[in-house]
Amino acid sequence: MPVFDYKAKASDNRPVQGIVEAKNKDAAGDILLERGLVIISIKPRASSDFFAERVMSIFNKVSKKDLAIMLRQLSILISSAIPLVQAIKMLVEQTQKRILKEALLNMSNDVEAGTKFSDALAGYPRIFKPFFVNMIKSGETTGKLDDILTYLADQQEKDYELESRIKGAMLYPAFIVTALVGVGIFVMVYVMPRMLEMFKEFDPSKLPVATKILITVTAFSQNYWYIVILVLAAIIGSWMWYIRTPGGRFFWGSAQVRIPAFGSLFRNIYIVRMSRTFATVLVGGLTVTEGLAIVRDVVGNAAYQAVLTDTIKGVEDGNPIANTMKHHPNLFPSMVPQMLSVGEETGRLEDVLDKITDFYTREINVTISNILVIIEPVIIVLLGVGVMIMVAGVLLPMYQLASQF
């Protein structure tokens, strides 16, 4: 979304300047007017500056940990009866992440000029998702902003902990696989050509199959390496393009939960993400349909988003939440719709969602442990097979040659 630099005046004629993201200049002006600012100038950020900012944002991205720390600090300051504007300015001094620091500085100016905190957050959709904006808005409406901030900080820390655990568990297999691929390329490019040089004088028909395969692969990798790179690039590029199309996103979303060994892990991750977010927005005072809409936006899987869209329509027609989910057992285990039905009937939906979150978080931990147990012997077996093929391809002809004397 385009970025605009603006200069304006607050209601007390105090000068205010900052940045705003909007579809166009008119939309940017509307956002500033909604904040109660008198516009002096709005200029689109130069394309070179915008490109540089995008590149820097890749390396300066606001993580879940950054948001959790910010929310925790802000909730403590607000609960200590420190005015909101002063609390945000204190966060500006403590924040090290440049993109978040800039956003907080602009928000403090906006809030001081009379803008609602939730509206100020909405001006930075790349940092604060609609989920955060709606939760803060409910806290402003009910007068429980500090409680909402504390709850958001708790949930963000749990999300960060879960994400860190998953990344940590996948780090070892990823490192091993990368190392194996690197060693394989090195062997095929530098080692095998020299070792196979001695077999050029042999009758090709008398060479073992493993040796023929090694000679063919080595020759191809030496003479046509650019074709391999182009083919791989074309396959990866086509796949990345496909999963960005509506049909591709839905296919990949459905396929994730069917991947052997990893499918249950993906499914449990999405269920935890949905149940935790749904419980959070209900605590914030949002209606069921509003909460489901936010859950749909944050779940990050097109297959689940399609089911949630149908669920929202069903709820609006007076049907239970679980009515649609129970028809998709590959996405929602039977326990989930059953527990949601009990929660609706008893009026304890928030408690049930917390229990679903706790249960499937434990399932994620168990699944990760099982995957790590399984993946180590699989990697060892694959490594052994690769080494066996290479050794057989080199040693068998030498054995045959030695046996002739």
The domain that holds 247 is classified in CATH as 1.20.81.30
Confirm whether 71 is domain-assigned.
Answer: yes
Q: pLDDT, tens digit, for every residue of 49-105?
A: 445 455 445 455 778 888 888 888 888 888 888 888 888 888 888 888 888 888 888
50 against 319, higher pLDDT = 319
312 against 31, higher pLDDT = 312
Residues 183 and 53 in one domain: no
Token pair recorded at residue 277: 């977010």
Give the rounded percent of residues in the chain with a pLDDT score beyond 90. Answer: 14
Residues 99 and 192 in one domain: no
Last residue within a domain, chosen from 82, 113, 128: 128
Residues 264 and 365 in one domain: yes
**Predicted confidence (pLDDT) at residue 1 exceeds the cutoff of 70:** no
* pLDDT computed for residue 306 by the predictor: 92
| Mean pLDDT, rounded, of the chain | 81
Where residue 313 falls among pLDDT bands split at 50, 70, 90? Answer: very high
Residues 321 and 225 in one domain: yes
Confirm whether 339 is domain-assigned.
Answer: yes
**Predicted confidence (pLDDT) at residue 403 exceeds the cutoff of 90:** no
Residues 262 and 176 in one domain: yes
Residues 108 and 176 in one domain: no
Please state, in angstroms and rounded to a whole number, the distance separating the CA atoms of residues 77 and 143. 15
Of 166, 198, 94, 206, nearest to 372 by C-alpha is 166
* pLDDT computed for residue 397 by the predictor: 67
Confirm whether 397 is domain-assigned.
Answer: yes
Where residue 262 falls among pLDDT bands split at 50, 70, 90? Answer: confident
Confirm whether 367 is domain-assigned.
Answer: yes
Where residue 201 falls among pLDDT bands split at 50, 70, 90? Answer: low
Determine the average pLDDT of the residues in 122-149.
Answer: 80
Residues 60 and 170 in one domain: no
Confirm whether 121 is domain-assigned.
Answer: yes
Where residue 353 falls among pLDDT bands split at 50, 70, 90? Answer: very high
- Cα 169 to Cα 18, 155, 335, 360, distances in angstroms: 41, 21, 27, 17
Residues 263 and 331 in one domain: yes
Residues 105 and 230 in one domain: no
Determine the average pLDDT of the residues in 314-336.
Answer: 90
Q: What single string gives the DSSP state of each residue in 80-125?
A: TT--HHHHHHHHHHH---HHHHHHHHHHHHHHHTT--HHHHHHT-T
Tell me if residue 259 falls in helix, strand or coil: coil
Confirm whether 174 is domain-assigned.
Answer: yes
- Counting runs of H as helices and runs of E as strands, what totals does the chain give? 18, 3
Confirm whether 139 is domain-assigned.
Answer: no
Confirm whether 135 is domain-assigned.
Answer: no
Residues 287 and 183 in one domain: yes
Last residue within a domain, chosen from 107, 128, 149: 128
The domain tally of the chain equals 2
Residues 262 and 326 in one domain: yes
**Predicted confidence (pLDDT) at residue 188 exceeds the cutoff of 80:** no
Residue 79 is part of which domain span?
3-128
Last residue within a domain, chosen from 128, 155, 173: 128
Residues 182 and 326 in one domain: yes
